[in-house]
Amino acid sequence: MGGGIAGGLLAGSVSAAGALGTVGILPPDSMRKELSHARELAEAKPLAANLLVPFVRRAHVEACAGARVDAVVLHAGFSRQLVAQLQRSHAVVLQTVGTPAQARRALADGVDGLIVQGIEAGGHLVGVEPALDALNRILPIANGKPVLLAGTIAQSEDVRRALDAGAQAAVAGTRFLLTDESGAHPAYKRAVLEADRTLETQLFGFGWPMRHRVVPNAATERWCRPGQLVSPALRVLQRLSSPMARLPMSLAASTIRTQRTALPIYGPSPPTRGSAEALVRVAALYAGETALRIRSVVSAAEAVSLLRSPTMPLT
């Protein structure tokens, strides 16, 4: 959960509670600060970082090494060189995949493990089918390396189901979005709690045209059509905007302030604590289908407790 949603406070609190907290990608200087904060809260307990491959710079790798992160999750792209760089700093490297072909590519790049993402997950999607179906297809080709499951994880029964299906661990996003320590704007959290559906779209793809799952807001109600990820005209515009991924993240993220309902040029940045509440109407409200089963905002420690299986403590 990049862009300020999973910062140092959330990641450090999750790790301190006995799970593996993850700091989402930010501009390098901000990420370094958040990793440092998370490390202080987590103390000697494991800590992870998430890197979105299209946006990674050398300074991100240096920030992860400086914070002595125990694991790094790569998402939305592949890079053998990046895997090797992170492993040289003694981090376990995990790759998010959604298909057997993606899993084979990641394994060929030398990753230490896989996170299988189901199409039910929130945020940017590599998953194309239900999580347990994807897990069943990818487990046989994992060559004994750890396989984790993402998508549909909101409570201990979901964790147990993932473990029983062969996963070594479960990955939760939306459950931690809806915590006190999450950096999401309070109105964003309310919108997720009140949502009666999620939708897969590419509407918020200016600068980064990739599928994503969100809950509805004014922007999706105005511009999303059933059965269509994005209109043909917007698809062309988004493809032309792809070079923006090479801009500094801080500059790209600043475009969120220009978004309006009447103009469908929407970037991937989510609304965070401290931003204008009006942005919740026109920014990406990432959430997985588990949002429909979550009824309250809780502390990070309580979220970990809700996910913990009585017979499989998180350590």
Number of domains in the chain: 2
Distance between start and end Cα atoms, the chain: 22
Are residues 149 and 298 both part of a single domain?
yes
Are residues 285 and 303 both part of a single domain?
no
Q: For residue 21, give the CATH number of its domain.
A: 3.20.20.70
Which residues 6+ apart lie within 8 Å of 266 measured at CB?
A: 203, 204, 205, 206, 219, 259, 282, 283, 284
Q: Assess if residue 230 is contained within a domain.
A: yes
Q: Strands 212-214 and 199-201: what pairing?
A: antiparallel
* pLDDT value at residue 138: 98
Are residues 261 and 300 both part of a single domain?
no
Whole-angstrom Cα distance, residue 215 to residue 197?
Answer: 6
Which residues 6+ apart lie within 8 Å of 247 measured at CB?
A: 207
Region of residue 8 (phi > 0: left; psi between -120 and 50: alpha; otherwise: beta): alpha
Q: Assess if residue 30 is contained within a domain.
A: yes
Cα separations (Å) of 64 from 8, 32, 122, 227, 285? 13, 7, 24, 40, 27
Q: Which residue range(s) make up the domain with 218?
A: 186-291
Are residues 122 and 176 both part of a single domain?
yes
Per residue in 31-64, pLDDT (tens digit) is: 999 999 999 999 899 999 999 999 999 999 999 9
For residues 261 and 281, is the Cβ–Cβ distance under 8 A? Answer: yes
Whole-angstrom Cα distance, residue 240 to residue 111?
Answer: 31
Cα separations (Å) of 307 from 61, 81, 199, 229? 30, 35, 25, 32
Segments of the chain assigned E as strands: 21-23, 47-52, 71-75, 92-97, 113-117, 123-124, 147-150, 169-171, 199-201, 212-214
Are residues 12 and 88 both part of a single domain?
yes
Which residues 6+ apart lie within 8 Å of 203 measured at CB?
A: 214, 219, 220, 223, 224, 229, 230, 234, 264, 266, 284
Give, for all 315 residues of the chain, the pLDDT tens digit. Answer: 999 999 999 999 999 999 999 999 999 999 999 999 999 999 899 999 999 999 999 999 999 999 999 999 999 999 999 999 999 999 999 999 999 999 999 999 999 999 999 999 999 999 999 999 999 999 999 999 999 999 999 999 999 999 999 999 999 999 999 999 999 999 999 999 999 999 999 999 998 999 999 999 999 999 998 888 988 888 888 888 777 766 666 666 667 778 889 888 999 999 999 999 999 999 999 999 999 999 999 999 999 999 996 654 443
Q: Assess if residue 313 is contained within a domain.
A: no
Are residues 17 and 114 both part of a single domain?
yes
Q: Give phi and psi for 225, each to the nearest 5.
A: -120, 145
Per residue in 248-286, pLDDT (tens digit) is: 666 666 677 788 898 889 999 999 999 999 999 999 999
